[in-house]
Amino acid sequence: MEEGEATTSEEEFETKKQARSRKQRENRAEALQEDGKKNEGLGDDAVAAGEKKRKRKALQNARSSVPGKRGVIYLSRIPPHMKPLKLRHLLEPYGEVLRIYLAPEDPAARLRRKRAGGNSGKNFTEGWVEFAHKSDAKRIAVMLNGEPMEASKRSAYHYDLWNMKYLKKFKWDNLTEEIAYKNAVREQRLAAEISAAKKERDFYLSKVDQSRAIASMEERKKNKKDLEQSQKPDGVEKPAIEKKSASEKPRLVRNFNQKKPVADGMTSNVATLSRDVLAGVFGGKRAY
């Protein structure tokens, strides 16, 4: 009895499985028939238009994926508080935006602004925007340059103007290479400054050690001399005058001949002849 019941249950299970698969095939066939009827109702023109639209979209996607077909716009000024997401939101209605890079401001300038009581947020100084198509980038640069960023007067960027320029034959790789070069230069400069600071520190520490060694030597010499003086017997008189050190040089005194002063009575500036000259002229005796 048990073997017969088990065989019957297995046969029922197989029957139900076949029935489910058959029903699924029928539903799939009905769905294909309905799709065919819908396509027939649209007509050949609608099908051709849909196919054309699909091909155009695929072509645009293919063009956007080619780096040579892309265009880059340079922004010389970024308003305060503007972030990359806000910039993308402003430019996407005019064309497909791929990548955005905004250069952050100098940390020293940000610190000065915070100390002066200004905003403490992160600002940007300049930026680059990459569009999927060159034509969109050229058109946007010509159309928006010098115009308000937002038309609504309630916006915080209504009185800020676009300052943009299309960069001809400029690729996004050029920007990344420049950024990498600047980072490498900055790292080399920091490494050179750190190396110079280490050399100065080592030189200073060596001089400090040398000064300590000299001071300790002088202290030992002084202690040794004091010890020798204290060990001398009491009957020996200590010299009153110590020997001068070899480094001390004798004092040199020099005398310079001075002119004799003029007598106090000879205050007249009138030129006169000497008595010897007068005696030689008139035959008189010389006064000795």
Tens digit of pLDDT for each residue in 172-225? Answer: 888 878 778 888 888 888 888 999 999 999 999 998 899 899 988 988 888 888
Q: How far apart, in whole angstroms, are the C-alpha atoms of residue 187 and residue 209?
A: 33
pLDDT of residue 163: 92
Any domain includes 123: yes
Is there a single domain that holds both residue 38 and residue 111? no
What is the overall mean pLDDT for the chain? 76
Any domain includes 189: no
Confidence grade of residue 112 (pLDDT, cut at 50, 70, 90): confident
* CATH code (residue 91): 3.30.70.330
Q: Is the pLDDT of residue 88 over 80?
A: yes
Is there a single domain that holds both residue 71 and residue 162? yes
Would you say the pTM of this structure is higher than 0.75?
no
Confidence grade of residue 17 (pLDDT, cut at 50, 70, 90): low
Which residue, 198, 197, 127, is CA-closest to 164? 127
Q: Is the pLDDT of residue 264 over 60?
A: no
Q: How far apart, in whole angstroms, are the C-alpha atoms of residue 103 and residue 82?
A: 12
Confidence grade of residue 67 (pLDDT, cut at 50, 70, 90): low
State how many domains the chain has. Answer: 2
* Ranges 56-60, 227-231, 249-253, 279-283: which has the least confidence: 56-60
Task: Give the residue numbers spanning the domain of 88.
Answer: 67-170
Confidence grade of residue 5 (pLDDT, cut at 50, 70, 90): very low
